[in-house]
Structure 1
Amino acid sequence: MKLGIGIGWRPEIADAVEALPGIDWVEAVAENLCDDHLPASLVRLRERGVTVVPHGVSLGLGGADRPDPARLAGLAARAALLGTPLVTEHIAFVRAGGARTGSPVLEAGHLLPVPRTWAALDVLCENVRVAQDSLPVPLALENIAALISWPDEELTEGQFLAELVDRTGVRLLIDVANLHTNHVNRGEDPARALDELPVEAIAYVHVAGGVERDGVWHDTHAHPVTAPVLGVLAELRSRIAPPGVLLERDDDFPPADELAGELDAIRATLDADRGGVRPVRKETPRPTPPAATSQSDGDGETEAATSQTDGNGETEAATSQTDGNGETEAATDAVRDRVAVAQTSLLSALVAGTPAPEGFDHRRLGVQSRALAAKRADVVAKVAPELPEILGRRAYRDAFLAYARSRPMSAGYRRDALDFAEQLLIAGRPADDAARRRLTHWWQDRAAPLPPRRTARLIRAARSVLVGR
C-alpha cells in the first residue's frame, strides 16, 4: 500500500491543507470526527482522491483492561465512513484504575509508556488481537515519546516492537520524532531501535517538531521539524523506502508556506542518495522469554506463565491457549491485575500527587506531571474558550493548575471544564461579582438548570476535602 507524502489534517489548517501542492493523503484524529458525517474539507479532499486515515488516541491498547467495545465500534464506524485502507493507534496507556484496582478511574489526557516487560507485552498483544477482530481494516500502531522510563524493563523498544509484530501481525506506524525524543530523554539509540524492529512491517512514518528545555525534549507538535529528527528519518530511509510519510502539526500553526517548506525538507530527506536501501533489518539476537513456569511483570514479582514454547523455538501468547479449565484465562487476568496496579500507581503519582512508585526518577516524574497539567489546561481552554475569557488568561491558567494538582481528570476534557468551573463557584470565585455571574451563567447553560445550591456546595466541598486526603 503506497500512501506517499501527507500531512495531519486539523480544522485550524483545513484550508491550507487543501491548497498545499503534492499532498497524497491526510490523517485525521479519529476522536475529532463524527461517526455519521465528515467535515466539508475532508469530503472535498476525498472527492479529489486524497486518502484519509483515522488516527485514534483514546483506545489505550497498552492499558490493563481489554479495549472498550464502544470505542472500538466508534473507530470502526469512522473507518467505514472514510473508506480508509487502515486505521492507526498508539502503543500506550491513557487511563488506569477501576475495578481491577478498586480505585476511581483516572484519565491521563496523554499517551503514557507501557513497561517493556514480557507481562505488559502479553497484555498488549491480547488487546491488539481484540482490536484487530473489531476493525474492518488493518491496524497499525505507533511508538510513543516518553519523558519517563519504567524500572526493570526487560526489552528494548526495537525488541518490544518486533515481538509485538511477530505475535499479532500488526503493522507499525514509526514516529521518527518520538525516536529522537526517547534518545534525548532516555538515552535510547534510534539506529539500534531501527535495526531491531521489523522495518518491513512499517505502514507509514510520522515526522513532527519539538523543543528541548533544560535537557528534556518535549514532543510538542507545535514547533518546526528539527535537523536531528530529519536525521532519524534518513536513518530509516537507509533501511527501507517507507510507504508513506506524514508531517504532524497540532498547535501554533505556521503560515501555509512554512508547512510547504517542511514538507519539502521531508521530500529532500527521502530523495537523498543514502548508498542504497537495506531491505531488511540487521540480524539481532531474539530475546528469550522467561521460563514457562514464571513471568516477570516489571515490579520484581513473578506470575504464572503467559507464554509457552511450541517445540520449534517459537513463542506463543498464552492468551491463545487454554487447558479446558479456564486456568490460562485466570493467569492472564492475574497478569492484567498486576499491570493495572503498576499503571494506576504511576498515573496517580502523575495526576493526583500520590507518592512516586519505587524505581522511578522523581525529577522526571515531576517534569511529566507538570507537562500533563499544562496540556490539560491548554486543552480545556480550547474546548471551553469562555473560561480564560471570563477569568483572564493568566488567572485562568493559575487557577486551573492549582485545581489540577488535586483533581485528576476522570471523564474527558469537557467534563473537566465543567468540574473546574463548579469548584470555582463552590469557593465563591472569581471575586469579581460580574465575572462570577458570567461563570455561573456559563455553568448553568452546560451543566444544569440551576447553579449548585448552598447545601450542595457545602456537601461537595466536604466531599472534595475527603477525596483529597
Structure 2
Amino acid sequence: MSHTPHLGIGIGWRPEIADAVEALPGVDWVEAVAENLCADHLPDSLVRLRERGVTVVPHGVSLGLGGADRPDARRLADLAERAGALGSPLVTEHIAFVRAGGPRTASPALEAGHLLPVPRTGDALRVLCENIRIAQDALPVPLAVENIAALVAWPGEEMSEGQFLAELVERTGVRLLIDVANLHTNRVNRGEDPAKALDELPVEAIAYVHVAGGIERDGVWHDTHAHPVTRPVLDILAALRSRITPPGVLLERDDDFPPTAELAAELTTIRQTVRLTDARAGVGAGADMGGGTGRGARTGEPAAASVSPRLLIGEGESPDTGPARERLALREAGLLSALVAGAAAPEGFDAGRLRVQSRALAAKRAGVVAKVAPELPEILGGGFRAAFLAYAADRPMRDGYRRDALDFVEHLLFEGRPEDPVARRRLTLWWEERAGARPPRRATRLVRRARAALIGR
C-alpha cells in the first residue's frame, strides 16, 4: 500500500452548487460523482478548480463491486478515463451491490438504483476481494472503497463490519473510504457500535473520510445527504480522529442544498471537530478509544506496505470463486426481488424493515426521474409522484433512470392515462421525442414543438 496523498478538507462537487463550491473558502479538494462526468467535456467549474490546484477525485456509484458478477469492463474503463482526465490521485467506489439476477440465476436482471449491503460472509468476502483485484488491475490510480449505510441486515452474517473491512484490506491492499455518517446510520438501524468498528478496522488504510447529514423517522435513520450534519456523526469523526489523522475529510450534500453560508459553516464545524480532537489527543498522536486491541494504527500517518495487492490472497484460498459467486448471486437476487419486484421477503429478513427499504428505493427512483425528466412532473402536476410510486411497486428499473422515465410514460400511455387529453397528448409527444433509436431530425422536432404549442393553447 503506497503512501496516501494528503487531501485536507473538501466538499462534494455537484452541478447545483458549482458556483458555491468555487466561492467557498478553504476548500482543498472536491469529489465528483464519476458517472455524471464526461472525460472529454468536463464541466467548466471543475476545470477552473483544477487550474487553481484543487484536487478532484471521481467517486463511482455503479460498479457494484459487491455483486456476484465480475465488474463490467466498460464501467471500469470509463472510471479509469475520468481519473486520467481529472489527474486524480485515486478513485473511490462502494462496498455494495447495485444489480442482481440475470443468467447466473436464470431470473430477470434487476437494478436497485441504490447501494445495497453485501452479506458479511466468507462467500461475499471472497467474491468482493476478486472483484476489487480486477478493478485495481484496470485502474491507473489506487482504489479506495466505502462502507455503506443500510436499512436491512442479512441473516447469518459471520463477521462484524470492522472485521470484514480488516480482512478485505489484508487480502487486497485496497484503501478505505470511511463514511462516519454511515457508521451512525448502522448504529441506529442495525444496532452496530461505531466504536467497535473503529477498533477493529485498519485505520492506517483510510484514504479519506465522508461526513454527511440525515434524519430519523420512526426509529429509522435515513442517510439523506440532504440535511445538516448531526452531533452524533461529528462525535464519530472525533473518535476516528483520536486514533489517526485522516488524509482527507469531505462534506457530502446531494439535495436540498442550503445557502453558501450554511455550507461554509458546516465545513468550519468539521475543521473545528478535527482540531479540537488534535488539541485533546495531540496532533499526530492517535489515542485509543478505550480498551480496544484493534488493528488500527496509533500514529498520525498511514502505514505503507510493500506487498503487491495480487499476492494478498488468503492463505489456502482457492482463486476460483465460481461456487461462491453462484451462492451469492442467489442470495442477492432474492433480496433485490423482494425490494423492487414485489417478491416475498427471503427467509430470515425482517419483513417490516424490507418494506421500509422498498419504499425508500421507490421514493428515490421518483425523485431522480423527476430530475432527469423534469417535464414529467410539469405535465402530470401533483399526480406525478403517486402515479410513479404505483408504477414502481412491482416494476424494477431496467437500465438507468432515463430508461425508467421512458418505461413509466409508456406504462401510463398504455393504460390510457392521464385522463386529461391535452396532458396525454403532451406526454405522447414527450415519449416520441425520446424513444426512437436515434434523435429526431431538426425538422421533425420543429413540427412536434408546433403541434405541442397548438395543443397547449
Same-fold status (TM-score > 0.5): yes
- Moved beyond 4 Å, runs of 4+: 279-282
Aligned twin of 1:306: none
Aligned 1:268-287 pairs, distance under 5 A: 268-272=272-276, 273-276=279-282, 277-278=285-286, 282-284=292-294
For 1:185, give the aligned amino acid. N
Does 2:9 match 1:5?
A: yes
Instruction: Give yes or no for contact 2:34–2:59 (8 Å, CA) kept in 1.
Output: yes
Do the aligned residues in 1 keep the contact of 2:202 with 2:295 (CA within 8 Å)? no
Q: Counterparts of 1:122 and 1:87 in 2: how far apart (Å)?
A: 22
Q: State how far apart, in whole Å, the 1-side matches of 2:249 and 2:281 are.
A: 20
Is structure 2 residue 399 aligned with structure 1 residue 398? no
User: Whole-Å Cα distance in 2 between the matches of residues 280 and 169 of structure 1?
Assistant: 24
Q: CA deviation at 1:434?
A: 0.3
Match of 1:418 in 2: 406
Distance in 2, Cα, partners of 1:186 & 1:172: 21
Superposed, 1:137-156 pairs within 5 Å as 137-156=141-160
Q: Does 1:101 align with 2:109?
A: no
Equivalent in 388, 394, 404 of residue 377 of structure 2: 388
Q: Judging changes above 3 Å, is the alpha-carbon distance between structure 1 residues 449 and 81 closer, same or farther for their aligned structure 2 residues?
A: closer
**CA deviation after TM superposition for structure 1 residue 285, in Å:** 8.9
Q: Which amino acid aligns with 2:431?
A: W
Is 1:226 the counterpart of 2:230? The answer is yes
Equivalences for residues 312-391 of structure 1 within 5 A? 315-316=314-315, 318-320=317-319, 329=320, 332-391=321-380
Contact kept? 2:57, 2:91, Cα under 8 Å = yes
Taking structure 1 as reference, are residues 402 and 274 closer, same or farther at Cα in structure 2, changes over 3 Å only? same
Q: Distance in 1 between matches of 2:70 and 2:316?
A: 15
Q: Give the 3-state SS of the residue equivalent to 2:105 in structure 1.
A: coil
SS in 1 for 2:104: coil
The reply to whether residue 437 of structure 1 matches residue 437 of structure 2 is no
Q: Are 2:264 and 1:264 aligned?
A: no
The answer on whether the counterparts of 1:207 and 1:245 sit within 8 Å (CA) in structure 2 is yes
* Aligned-pair CA distance for 1:279: 7.1
**Following TM superposition, by how much is the alpha carbon of 1:318 offset from its aligned partner in structure 2, in angstroms?**
2.8
Separation of aligned partners in 1, 2:241 and 2:384: 45
Q: Say if 1:139 and 1:171, in contact at 8 Å, map to a contact too.
A: yes
Provide the C-alpha distance between the structure 2 equivalents of 1:6 and 1:346, rounded to a whole number of angstroms. Answer: 35
- Give me the whole-angstrom Cα distance separating, in 2, the residues matched to 1:279 and 1:169: 24
Written as runs of structure 1 = structure 2, the 5 A alignment for 1:156-305 is 156-272=160-276, 273-276=279-282, 277-278=285-286, 282-284=292-294
The alpha-carbon distance between structure 1 residues 97 and 444, as it changes in their structure 2 partners (threshold 3 A), is: same
DSSP 3-state at the match of 2:101: strand
- 1:122 alignment partner AA: R
Q: Which residue of 2 aligns with 1:409?
A: 397
| CA distance in structure 2 between the aligned counterparts of 1:103 and 1:447, rounded to whole angstroms | 26
Distance across 2 between alignment mates of 1:317 and 1:255: 55
Deviations 1:49-71 (A, max 9, x none): 00000000000000000000000
Structure 1 unaligned regions, length at least 5: 287-309, 321-328, 451-469
Shift of 1:315: 3.3
Supply the AA of the counterpart residue of 2:315: E
Q: Secondary structure at the match of 2:110?
A: strand
Cα distance in 1 between the residues matched to 2:345 and 2:436: 38
Q: Normalising by structure 2, what TM-score? A: 0.88
Deviations 1:391-444 (A, max 9, x none): 00x300000000001210121100000000001000110000000010000000
- 1:94 and 1:110 in contact (8 A); partners too: yes
Q: Is the 8 A contact 1:167 1:317 kept in 2?
A: no
The answer to whether the 8 Å contact 1:175/1:205 transfers is yes
How far is 1:358 from its partner? 0.2
- Measured in 1, the distance between the counterparts of 2:376 and 2:255 equals 19
TM-score calculated relative to the size of structure 1: 0.86
The answer to whether the 8 A contact 2:129-2:168 is kept is yes
Aligned letter for 1:274?
R
Quote the Cα distance in structure 2 between the aligned partners of 1:143 and 1:445.
40
Compared CA separation, residues 39 and 285, structure 1 to 2 (3 A): closer
Q: What does residue range 23-62 of structure 1 map to in structure 2 within 5 Å? A: 23-62=27-66
Contact 1:167–1:316 (CA under 8 A) maintained in structure 2: no
In structure 1, the partner of 2:299 is none
Deviation, 1:449, is 8.4
Given that 2:242 and 2:288 are in contact with CA atoms closer than 8 Å, whether structure 1 keeps it comes out as no
- Asked if the contact 1:7–1:27 (Cα under 8 Å) also holds between the matched residues in 2, the reply is yes
Counterparts of 1:136 and 1:315 in 2: how far apart (Å)?
25
Cα distance in 2 for partners of 1:91, 1:246 equals 18
CA distance in 2, matches of 1:437, 1:204: 50
Question: How many residue pairs get matched?
Answer: 413
